[in-house]
Amino acid sequence: MTFYELTWDSPEEKELFVAELGDLLQTLEDSWLSGEPDVAAAFRAAHTIKGSAAMVGLDDWSSRAHNLEDRLDQIRKNPDDQLEESLRLDVLNFVDFIRQELNGRVNSEANAESSPQHWRITLSPACALKGARAFQILQRVGELARIVSSRPSGEDIQEFERFDGNTVDVSFEPIGDQPPVDWPEIFRSIPEVEEWEQIESMEEDPKSRGTTAAQAQQRENMIRIHPQVLEGLLDGLGELLMRHAELSHRLNETSPAVKEALDGVKQIAMNLQDMTLRARMLPLSTLFHQYPRAVHDIARKLSKDITLSVEGGETQLDRLVMDRLHEPLLHLIRNAADHGIETASERLRKGKPLAGHIFLQASSRKGRVRIVVADDGRGIDWNGLRNKAVARDVMTADQARNATSESLVAMLFLPGFSTKDQVSDLSGRGVGLDVVKDTVDQLHGDIRVESEPGRGTRFIMELPMTMAILSALLIAIGPVVLGIPVLNVERIEPWHQDDVKHTLGVDMIDDHGHPLKVTVLSQLLKIEGSDPQMVIRVQDGAVKMAFVVDTVLGQQDVVIKPLGRVMPLIPWMTGAALLGDGRVALMMDVKRLAEKVGHNDSTALPEPVAAENTRQVPGSSWLVFGVGPLYYGISVDKVQEVLLQGPVNRIVGQHPLVEGVTMIREESYPVLSGKKLMDAGDLDDGGYFIVVHMSQHRFVLSVDIVKEIVPIAWSQIQPVPHHDGLEVIMGLAEVGGMVIQLVDFDAVLSEILPNESVAGEQKDHLPSLRGVQVFLADDSRLARQKLTTALINQGAEVTAYEEGQALMTGLAQAQNLPHVVVTDVEMPKMDGYHLLEQVKAEFPGISVIVHTSLDGRLSKEHCIELGADFVLTKWDVGELVRRVGLASHQGMDNKGGRTHALIAD
């Protein structure tokens, strides 16, 4: 099928397609005619043309674009390959081919010797549906020949109400070697066709002039306005309103009559502006109605049964915004069909209806439009996404394991990232979601993803209803006026320096129990300002920040003017607006501005910095916090995040160290009292939560202050005298004149967990360790006691040591070597890594079990590299006893043979 033979649902659909195609062809041409070919831009353009052509039924176009895309993809993936001249010619020939088809000059070589035939078909005067019959004529001719032109145009005939004549002139050429067609017989078969004749040319016949009078009159009543004309009208109205403001400012002291006249001018201008804005608005059905066909074709290619539900098509949206949404929405629909909807057999196994369902919904609220693309498919495979992130080196294994759904979703929008291993003409190249996000960002919108495994996925876009007029909050920084979109402003309040908490080098203020980064805008933008007076809390999608400003001038509707070449020099600026008093307001892009200072809603911990000559292993960096007048330390590897202290719900019957529970992002965490743990008296009002993750348990430690991160080598740690009661301090270290007490959170965890020891009813299920000799190293007296008791109860002979160096001395002096060594990682003098390395080097026949609360990939993999037989990352005494039994048999059987380490989570 050729472009001319396509059936369009509306003229708007055709205009959208042609306009977008023209831009893409220009991109292809420009990318290859420039001095340095832009392969990435050409690849994206070919990819988009392929999808758009397939959606409307231009299979030949789609196939050609797909072949070109494949060749460009090879160059994109291998940038060092030399660009062939043949590829440049293929790109330009492809552009020429599409443009020729758009202009009706098709198949010129095959039909060079064929002369077009020109026919005039006359309808019966009694024909009631002349537009429908005229359309039927063109459709039948198009099935047998290639239409060159027609009068009236195919576009006017498709809009049946525009055609009120009796004659249709059509010019067409034969297709290839097709046998001759009996055209009179074809026209005779069409109902209500009265006459037909072959004419010499398509020159207008005088007889037809009178028949189009009504049509001409109707066209006078329906004039299409180019978007640039509306842009010019809006610009002019904006200037008029600005001049009104300027006159009002200068004539502030004039008579009431003048002010009344000015108010009248302003009201007229505002009414005209509203009317012009409405002229730019179109219902989203203009865009949505083309997707059912796309879903049908995609489902057929995928051999799936998929239906599409569309809601909210009456929602109005700015034409300029809508023009940019076609391809992003098509990408999301393709993803839903290809990635989301399962095959019929999968859905049958899951008890779902055989037909998958895609939902396209739109709604509007407070100047913004919300568009949702959802499916009832398999949902996002979070574990699969984690594995793909590691395989693509986007995340380390440890980062992927601990990543939240929000951070995993962010990867979906990375360029080139795809969850599919195989490339098809629908997906798998990693092109699509990054384009979607880029487009939404350029439109100052937001996109987020919600997914539930087995239930489906929802992509939610929120966009401004129009880009022409912006309601802005105007602020002043010294002599400079800036504007922030009102939709991004959450709250304005007086600025009080006392509200600021300085945490890990970042200024924070409270945001409903969570820390919110705050920055003085004059310092960030390097503008000389006066005394800051106000703080503005802003949000743009997931970005949240607070800006301190000199003065808030008020709210005003402004017309944004682009600044051309200046824009790249100031990336946080989206444009400028001329105000009534002659000043220029620079409009801020909240997202880009926030990138200059970061915008996480929790305090991000910097990468650990190891001390000079300190072994690069977990435990060498410590987060220092204060409770009362003293400072304490916790290994950074155990810290997930730092938050401002929030509300705690008291729960009866808890361990004395547990204050209650707190909610963090809709999950409950037990709260350990730093005051009770350190016996430090009452805390000051306010403070911090340290979220700790160890041994597959998460809890919160409430502390007074969070100071800094410092490197501490195990050799720097000095022991502390033993005392009665709970041992929580594993050692002391002095850094920069500050004495830090290092907290043994393994001992804390073993104290508060109710199931950390071997229950009596479980002992019968544990192996007998009679005759097994075990050397145990753990700096926690409580841990040593519990592990020793559990092992002895099963018949083992246990010798316990406080740290690795003492155990190595014991090995050197032992008459009979143990079968198994059990060691912790975090110990003074000699840590578990050094101990493991030395045992395997000097006594390879001894099995070594490492138990650690460090959940990080580095700690586990490092143990395996050093030769550990088992690595346990969960405090489970029963499991450790079982592992000792297994390890003792391996040690006896292998006598120095290297076994594969097992990790028990």
Dump pLDDT digits (tens) for 766-777: 788 888 999 999
Domain ranges of the chain: 3-102, 117-221, 227-280, 285-464, 469-595, 621-751, 756-904
Residue 337 has what pLDDT?
92
Q: What is the dihedral of CA 801, 802, 808, 810, to 10 degrees?
A: -30
- The pair of structure tokens assigned to 668 is 């409950």
| Confidence at 393, pLDDT banded by 50, 70, 90 | confident
Q: Tell me the mean pLDDT in the region 780-808.
A: 86
Q: For the purposes of burial, counting CB atoms within 10 Å of the CB of 36, is it exposed (0-12), middle (13-18) or buried (19 or more)?
A: exposed
194 Cβ partners below 8 Å, 6+ apart?
Answer: 122, 123, 124, 125
Nearest to 694 by CA among 642, 744, 639, 656: 639
The whole-angstrom separation of Cα 307 and Cα 355 is 7
Per-residue pLDDT, averaged over 847-871, amounts to 76
Tell me how far apart the alpha carbons of residues 600 and 515 are, in angstroms, rounded to a whole number: 9
**Topology (CATH level 3) of domain 469-595:** SH3 type barrels. (2.30.30)
Over the stretch 454-468, which tens digit does the pLDDT of each residue have? 999 999 999 888 776
Q: What is the pLDDT confidence band of residue 252, given thresholds at 50, 70 and 90?
A: low
Mean pLDDT (the chain) is 76
Structural fold of domain 117-221: Alpha-Beta Plaits (3.30.70)
User: What architecture (CATH level 2) is domain 285-464?
Assistant: 2-Layer Sandwich (3.30)
pLDDT, position 573: 76
The answer to whether the bond into 152 is cis (omega within 30° of 0) is: yes
**Residue-level pLDDT at 248:** 66
Instruction: Tell me the CATH architecture of domain 621-751.
Output: Beta Barrel (2.40)
Task: Write the pLDDT tens digit of every residue in 27-49.
Answer: 887 777 655 778 888 888 888 88
Task: Tell me which of 110 and 335 has the higher pLDDT.
Answer: 335
For range 184-210, the mean pLDDT = 69
> Does 239 score more than 70 pLDDT?
no
d(CA 408, CA 537): 27
State the Cα–Cα distance between residues 607 and 589, nearest whole angstrom: 29
Q: Give the helix/strand (H/E) hosting 231.
A: helix 227-250
Give the CA distances from residue 456 to residues 340, 373, 411, in Å, rounded to whole numbers and listed in that order: 7, 11, 18
Neighbours of 460 (CB within 10 A): 15
Confidence check: pLDDT of 112 > 60 = no
**pLDDT of 368 higher than 70:** yes
Q: In sequence order, what DSSP letters do the residues of 126-157 get, joined into one string?
A: T-S-HHHHHHHHHHHHHHHSEEEEEES-HHHH
pLDDT above 70 as % of the chain: 73
Q: Is the pLDDT of residue 681 over 90?
A: no
pLDDT digits (tens, 9 = 90+) for 300-329: 888 999 999 999 999 988 887 888 888 889
CA distance 360 to 156: 30
pLDDT band at residue 620, thresholds of 50, 70 and 90? low
Report the candidate in 153, 147, 184 with the shortest Cα–Cα distance to residue 168.
Answer: 153
Pairwise pLDDT comparison (315 vs 852), residue with the higher score: 315
Tens of pLDDT, residue by residue over 473-529, are 999 988 889 999 888 888 899 988 888 877 666 778 877 767 788 888 888 888 887
Distances (CA, A) of 83 to 31, 39, 79, 95, 217: 13, 10, 9, 18, 56
Res. 347 pLDDT band, cuts 50 70 90 = very high
pLDDT, position 221? 42
SS3 category, 285: helix
Could you tell me which residue, 792 or 719, shows the higher pLDDT? 792
Q: How many residues make up the chain in this entry? A: 905
Nearest to 587 by CA among 604, 568, 570, 611: 570
**CA separation for the pair 658, 778 (Å, rounded):** 25
DSSP class of 104: T
pLDDT of residue 809: 93
Q: Is the pLDDT of residue 603 over 90?
A: no
CATH architecture type of domain 756-904: 3-Layer(aba) Sandwich (3.40)
**Which pLDDT belongs to residue 426?**
52
| Domain 3-102 architecture | Up-down Bundle (1.20)
Strand, helix or coil at 821? strand
| Region of residue 747 (left: phi > 0; alpha: psi -120 to 50; beta: else) | alpha
Confidence band (pLDDT; 50, 70, 90) for 729?
A: confident
* For residues 849-866, average pLDDT: 71
Are 3-102 and 117-221 equal in CATH topology?
no
